[in-house]
Amino acid sequence: MSNTERPGPRDYNRAARNTSASQNLDAWPRPLRWAYWVLVVSAVLMLVSGLVGIFGSGGPQVEPQNAQVAEYLHSNRLFVAVTNTVGAVVLALFAAQLASGSKWARRIITIVIAIALFNNIAALALGIGGLGLLIIAVTLLIAVVLLFRPQSNRFIAHRSLHGRD
């Protein structure tokens, strides 16, 4: 009998048990499911952005007069495009492991998100990319918040404690 089902006054010396949370630790929590889908959307956006940056012309742009400036823009846009493409593939691969409560998958996803956020925000600040990079950054921030919600933390801790990592 749990502390809340016991008749009489509340015993403040015992920790209250949340029976619904302890029974559902084997189920995939809602924030982690949402994080998975936001990561899928982020990966698609990053992949499209990367492929457009690699193979596309980048839209109607005025060609700089200086050859050094043109090379600077081209090489940096190519760098951001390649890192977005590689990051999208890594996010897609490891997001699938979230359902099993993998601690390593969440760590790798967090590292990839940090690198992608830095690259996309820096590219946006330097004028290399467009507004799509801001959308990628916002979706990645939403994903990382959902990855570390208390329900997600409990689920991953429970799974790693029971040897499923």
For 91-139, the pLDDT digits (tens) are: 999 999 998 888 999 999 999 999 999 999 999 998 888 888 999 999 9
- The stretch 80-95 carries a mean pLDDT of 95
Greatest pairwise CA separation for the chain in angstroms? 83
Average pLDDT across the chain, whole number = 84
Q: Which helix (H) or strand (E) covers residue 36, if one does?
A: helix 30-55
What is the residue-wise DSSP string for 7-30? SSS--TTSPPP-HHHHHTTTSPPH
45-59, 101-115, 136-150: lowest mean pLDDT where?
45-59
Alpha-carbon span 125 to 74, nearest angstrom? 16
- The stretch 12-23 carries a mean pLDDT of 58
Residues 6+ apart with CB under 8 A from 46: 84, 85, 87, 88, 91, 116, 136
Supply the pTM of this predicted model: 0.77
Alpha-carbon span 161 to 165, nearest angstrom? 8
Contact predicate 159/100, CB 8 Å = yes
Alpha-carbon span 26 to 87, nearest angstrom? 29
Does pLDDT of 51 surpass 70?
Answer: yes
Handedness of CA 71, 72, 78, 81 (dihedral sign): negative
14-18, 94-98, 126-130, 148-152: lowest mean pLDDT where?
14-18
Give the pLDDT band (50/70/90) at residue 66: confident
Task: At 4, give phi and psi (nearest 5°).
Answer: -80, -20
Alpha helix (H) ranges present in 56-148?
A: 67-95, 103-126, 132-147
DSSP assignment, residue 157?
H
The whole-number pLDDT of residue 161 equals 76
Residue identified by tokens 């990855």 is 147
